Amino acid sequence: MSGHTLDELCSTLNAQTGKMAWPELERHFARGVVIKLSAGIDLIKAAAAVVMDDTESVSHWMKSSDLVHASVQDAVDWTSRQPEFRAVVAAPWVIIQEIV
């Protein structure tokens, strides 16, 4: 996505964002590419930061545990509760945010 402005990138990512249930995300989890984002962070801005390799923002979110790899414990929890998520692909990652 190089050469795109931040606004264009955010617009593209927003268009590619959708609701997904846990069963739809399980195969991505099995591949180790699911990243969960805390509820207080803007999903599109976070995905744009990942795509644009904004290491300052991404590192900050990772250090504060707002952006982390989904764990086996997460998968067990999601399997039992079956929540819905907003999801967007920021290749190679699938960034998800639980809808609360």
For the stretch 2-21, pLDDT in tens is: 556 888 999 999 998 999 99
Is residue 35 within 8 A of residue 68, CB to CB? The reply is yes
Domains of the chain, by residue range, sit at 6-98
Backbone angles phi, psi at 57, to 5 degrees: -65, -45
What's the whole-model pTM score? Answer: 0.90
Q: What is the pLDDT of residue 1?
A: 46
Is residue 85 within 8 A of residue 15, CB to CB? The reply is no
- List pLDDT tens digits, range 17-33: 999 999 999 999 999 99
Taking the C-alpha atoms of 25, 35, 78 and 29 in order, what is their torsion angle to the nearest 10 degrees? 40
pLDDT of residue 37 exceeding 70, the answer is: yes
* Cα within 13 Å of Cα(79), Cβ side: 10
Is residue 28 within 8 A of residue 87, CB to CB? The reply is no
